[in-house]
């Protein structure tokens, strides 16, 4: 958008045209009186929509309102152009005609440029839709019209005929004038640019193919992709460009996932900004951004908010969302730890996705400790630690994990299958293969199948890591006996324990990132031990694989193998997002796998007999099962790096309907028990002795704000699945509260968040409903239909956060934030900014004596004389329908504010006063004519008693009140009608 009121220039504004959503042009309206024209700084916006409707918007209020609308009935709008300081809008249509709209009254002028008059009369074909309209920068009376077929016409508005016609073989996409008005340039569908001299219409002055290879011997270059937009600018060499202050790079690479964090630590945004400021490109102009206008709204949030977006190219961006607008804080490139193939032929054949092998799938972030963990589509996990110091890593730490799904079931006489009875252990389990800390040397097994090969290759050269997030550890799942690794479905990191855990449809793996060792590597079935409640059929892992993870389609039915190779950037559009899950938990389908769907580190009661809480991991699966794993951590300090972490299943099993989505814990007061974390500290700076002593005494966990006595007495576990939510009392493991969230649909996203000093469960269902429940009672608080699930982008990016906030990607390039908090809704009006700032338009420069004498400089045009009703007549009523807005032009006047706004209103009032005086003058002339006629028939020298009645408007009473008096009919100062 270009706001004329904000541009300190007298040059004409370029057209602003968008075909997809509408065609936008910024205007400065003027009010015309009988005696003069006064340009009022009203500042409005004209938009042309896809349904061929023109809107005039009032920008003087925080929520823009429509003042007028004009609906075209017989022709489709393809282009709009509004000259600088003009109230006449040129509208091009699909039929090749050009209509002219008065933006004050939003009515059509009778002046029409018909396509058959613009083109050659000998031409037998239609020129196509109008794709460009602009007036000559040096002569407003010359209009350049571009047709899609390749024809360009220079139209003389006064003589109503074409001066020149320019014809080219290729279709036109855009046209632009040179500032001197002697040349113009066209962009074409074959990737060429043609430059034309205005007075030489026979052939182009020059033809350029900027993106094509220039062939020798004068041959025509090969066709390229169309050039959709071209500008013809001249500048001096060495002018630096301005740095754009607005976040226009959300979709620099397609967004594949996002997370929303409200009420973060106050020092987090400054820390991210300090490291992100060093990433800015050099060479920008040192001057401020030249386009100003509008005012920011009041920032009512007293807490910082951060949005993290993961992208298809492996990058991660941190955004400051504390205000209405987003600001980029920091960008992390995760792909730089991997070797990149120079071309497609060099790509390894171990990739499991066709494109975007570095795409981010899951983000796990601890704001307090600043630990970051990501999972990518190539079955890789990277752990990052925040540092303000630049370091060079000689060898990137790496682990390879074999996560295999293989069941050696034993048939019982009755045909049921019995899972192995061995108790899952840690790294000593026979089926648990210890991963390698270096890339394996063998890439195939004895039978020739690909084995022990990761999907991506980690760099083996030193890596320079800038301040910010630096690689701590890279973990990759490897191929197993010809089977590719399955994509990761859940991820969790805990800075207090020094552990990261992830799972997929094959099983679960836990890694100690401090000691760089694998603690747990088990199939999902092995977590049950002998307590498996399901009857499982034998299944070979080489059968048809189901795609895992939230990036794949969730429709029911057989999935072809090609589906698992889809890029996460491909949006799956299907309105039938219905899947049914059997309420029975006694059997599962032969082809299904029980994937890990939720992971949560906590300090709680693991068994019924426990008297005190202990560190543990709660694991949720897609079959609605919750399992608890006990963690035995060594003391802090140096002992934490020397002694191993002991991991053992507790035997606790809880079950719900549907896949487990989220887990959290409350204390007896109903307060949320936050996950354990350690405070952030700089790891690249040597610690002094005092810090080392503190580290030795430091507890590996942090407890909730409640006292330790309360936490030892009782806790509540909140578990949300796709179908229901339960509150489990601990350590008794009794179900205290239960709520069936939906029967006909399923929950896509569920989060336990804080709102108004209380805790609640927020859910977004596939049927479009947003629901909230109180905790721990699970009493329904809100159920509103908000957004139907139309594509997987919404399901992939929707997330809740604290203080009643949520967001999702409403389109590939737009993040939609919403709130279900009454307090935020009440303050929303104050948070909105003002789009418009009244600014006086500068005076046009004087032409000078010689230019005026010899005709140099820009030529002006009286459009009112050409397009007004007196000159061109009225337009056909059937062509367009005028729809007045709720406020009309009064809405603009009422919204004016400030010193310049007061001046504008005073100008407008003066103009209206002059207009009313003009109407009064016309009525006076009519009465004068009547008086003259009467006087001819009156007796000479006879005094006539005449009573005058002033049939005037209410506004004119202050000038001419009704009166009765004796007058001389021969006099000409008669005011009123003769009775």
Q: pLDDT tens digits for 777-819? A: 999 999 999 988 888 888 889 999 998 999 999 888 788 989 8
pLDDT at 695: 52
Q: Who's near 971: CB < 8 A, 6+ residues apart?
A: none
pLDDT at 261: 92
pLDDT at 549: 34
Q: Who's near 814: CB < 8 A, 6+ residues apart?
A: 250
Confidence tier at 752 by pLDDT (50, 70, 90): very high
**Range with top average pLDDT, 488-497, 697-706, 835-844:** 488-497
What DSSP string describes 621-649?
A: ETTSEEEEEEEEPPPSTHHHHHSPPEEEE
pLDDT at 22: 36
Extended beta strands in 427-560, E state: 463-465, 468-477, 490-494, 499-503, 507-512, 517-523
Q: Rg of the chain's alpha carbons, rounded to an integer? A: 37
pLDDT at 345: 53
- Residue 949, classed as helix, strand or coil, is strand
Asked if 451 and 444 touch (Cβ cutoff 8 Å), the reply is yes
Least confident of 111-125, 649-663, 756-770: 111-125
Point out which residues pair with 36 in neighbouring strands. Answer: none
pLDDT at 756: 82
Region 410-424: mean pLDDT is 35
Query: What's the pLDDT tens digit per position in 689-733?
Result: 555 555 554 444 444 444 444 444 589 999 999 999 999 999 889
Least confident of 247-251, 271-275, 581-585, 837-841: 581-585
Region 652-668: mean pLDDT is 92
Mean pLDDT of all residues belonging to the chain? 75
Confidence tier at 978 by pLDDT (50, 70, 90): very low
Least confident of 289-303, 374-388, 570-584, 704-718: 570-584
Question: How far is it, in rounded angstroms, from Cα 291 to Cα 143?
Answer: 28
- The β-bridge relationship of strands 151-156 and 747-755 is unpaired
Question: How far is it, in rounded angstroms, from Cα 927 to Cα 932?
Answer: 9
Region 758-776: mean pLDDT is 94
Take residue 665 and report the two structure tokens written for it: 């814990």
Counts for the chain of helices (H) and strands (E), in that order: 13, 54
Rounded to two decimals, the pTM is: 0.69
- Statement: residue 159 has pLDDT above 70: yes
- Statement: residue 977 has pLDDT above 50: no
pLDDT at 283: 74
């Amino acid at each position: 958008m270009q706001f004329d009121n904000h541009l300190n220039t007298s040059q004409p504004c370029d057209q602003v045209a968008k075909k997809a959503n509408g065609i936008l042009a910024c205007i400065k309206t003027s009010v015309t009186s009988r005696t003069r024209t006064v340009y009022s700084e009203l500042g409005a916006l004209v938009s042309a929509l896809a349904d061929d409707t023109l809107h005039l918007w009032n920008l003087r209020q925080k929520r823009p309102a429509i003042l007028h609308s004009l609906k075209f009935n017989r022709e489709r709008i393809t282009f709009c152009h509004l000259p600088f300081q003009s109230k006449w809008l040129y509208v091009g249509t699909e039929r090749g005609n050009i209509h002219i709209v008065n933006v004050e009254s939003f009515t059509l002028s009778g002046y029409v440029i018909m396509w058959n008059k613009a083109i050659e009369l000998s031409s037998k074909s239609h020129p196509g839709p109008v794709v460009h309209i602009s007036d000559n920068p040096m002569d407003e009376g010359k209009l350049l019209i571009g047709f899609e077929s390749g024809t360009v016409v220079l139209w003389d508005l006064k003589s109503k005929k074409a001066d020149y016609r320019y014809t080219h073989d290729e279709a036109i996409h855009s046209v632009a004038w040179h500032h001197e008005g002697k040349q113009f340039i066209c962009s074409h569908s074959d990737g060429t640019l043609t430059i034309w001299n205005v007075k030489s219409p026979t052939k182009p002055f020059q033809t350029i193919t900027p993106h094509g290879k220039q062939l020798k011997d004068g041959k025509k270059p090969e066709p390229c992709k169309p050039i959709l937009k071209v500008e013809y600018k001249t500048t001096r060499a060495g002018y630096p460009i301005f740095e754009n202050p607005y976040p226009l790079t959300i979709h620099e690479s397609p967004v594949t996932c996002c997370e929303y964090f409200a009420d973060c630590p106050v020092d987090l945004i400054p820390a991210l900004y300090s490291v992100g400021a060093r990433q800015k490109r050099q060479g920008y102009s040192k001057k401020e951004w030249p386009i100003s206008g509008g005012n920011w709204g009041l920032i009512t949030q007293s807490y910082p908010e951060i949005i993290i977006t993961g992208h298809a190219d492996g990058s991660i961006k941190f955004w400051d969302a504390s205000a209405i607008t987003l600001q980029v804080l920091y960008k992390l490139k995760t792909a730089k730890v991997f070797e990149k193939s120079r071309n497609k032929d060099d790509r390894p054949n171990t990739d499991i996705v066709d494109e975007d092998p570095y795409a981010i799938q899951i983000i796990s972030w601890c704001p307090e400790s600043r630990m970051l963990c990501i999972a990518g589509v190539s079955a890789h996990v990277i752990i990052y630690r925040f540092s303000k110091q630049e370091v060079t890593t000689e060898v990137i730490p790496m682990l390879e994990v074999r996560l295999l799904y293989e069941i050696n079931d034993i048939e019982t006489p009755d045909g049921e299958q019995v899972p192995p009875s061995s108790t899952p252990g840690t790294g000593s389990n026979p089926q648990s293969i210890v991963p390698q800390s270096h890339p394996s040397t063998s890439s195939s097994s004895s039978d020739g199948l690909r084995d022990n090969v990761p999907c991506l290759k980690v760099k083996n050269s030193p890596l320079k890591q800038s301040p910010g997030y630096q690689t701590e550890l890279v973990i990759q799942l490897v191929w197993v006996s010809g089977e590719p690794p399955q994509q990761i479905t859940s991820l969790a990191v805990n800075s207090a324990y020094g552990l990261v855990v992830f799972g997929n449809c094959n099983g679960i793996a836990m890694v100690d990132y401090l000691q760089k060792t694998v603690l747990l590597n088990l199939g999902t079935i092995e977590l049950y031990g002998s307590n498996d409640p399901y009857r499982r059929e034998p299944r070979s892992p080489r059968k048809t694989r189901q795609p895992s993870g939230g990036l794949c389609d969730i429709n029911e039915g057989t999935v072809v193998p090609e589906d698992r190779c889809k890029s996460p950037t491909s949006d799956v559009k299907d309105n039938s997002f219905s899947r049914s899950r059997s309420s029975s938990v006694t059997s599962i389908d032969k082809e299904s796998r029980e994937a890990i769907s939720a992971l949560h580190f906590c300090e709680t009661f693991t068994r019924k007999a426990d008297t005190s809480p202990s560190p543990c991991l709660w694991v949720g699966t897609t079959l609605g099962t919750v399992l608890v794993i006990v963690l035995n951590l060594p003391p802090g300090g140096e002992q934490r790096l020397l002694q191993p972490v002991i991991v053992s299943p507790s035997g606790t099993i809880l079950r719900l309907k549907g896949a487990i989505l989220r887990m959290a814990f409350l204390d007896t007061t109903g307060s949320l028990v936050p996950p354990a974390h350690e405070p952030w500290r700089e790891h690249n700076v040597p610690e002094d002795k005092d810090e080392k002593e503190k580290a030795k005494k430091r507890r590996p966990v942090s407890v909730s704000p409640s006292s330790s006595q309360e936490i030892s007495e009782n806790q509540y576990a909140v578990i949300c699945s796709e179908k229901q939510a339960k509150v489990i009392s601990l350590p008794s493991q009794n179900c205290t509260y239960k709520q069936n969230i939906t029967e006909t649909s399923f929950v896509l996203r569920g989060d336990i968040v804080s709102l108004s000093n209380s805790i609640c469960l927020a859910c977004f269902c596939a049927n479009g409903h947003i629901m909230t429940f109180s905790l721990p009672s699970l009493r329904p608080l809100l159920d509103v239909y908000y957004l139907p699930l139309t594509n997987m982008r919404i399901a992939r990016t929707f997330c809740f956060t604290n203080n009643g906030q949520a967001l999702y990607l409403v389109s590939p390039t737009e993040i939609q934030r919403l709130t279900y908090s009454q307090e935020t809704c009440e303050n929303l009006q104050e948070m909105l900014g003002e789009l418009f700032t009244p600014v006086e338009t500068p005076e046009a420069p004087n032409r000078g004596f010689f230019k005026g004498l010899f005709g140099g400089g820009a030529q002006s045009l009286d459009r009112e004389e050409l397009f007004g009703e007196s000159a061109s007549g009225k337009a056909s009523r059937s062509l367009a329908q005028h729809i007045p807005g709720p406020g009309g032009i009064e809405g603009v006047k009422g919204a004016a504010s400030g010193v310049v706004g007061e001046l504008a209103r005073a100008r407008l009032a003066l103009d209206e006063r002059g207009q009313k005086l003009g109407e009064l003058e016309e009525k006076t002339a009519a009465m004068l004519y009547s008086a003259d006629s009467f006087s001819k028939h009156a007796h000479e020298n006879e005094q006539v008693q005449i009573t005058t009645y002033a049939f005037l408007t209410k506004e004119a009473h202050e000038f001419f009140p009704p009166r009765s008096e004796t007058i001389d009919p021969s006099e000409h100062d008669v005011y009123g009608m003769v009775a």
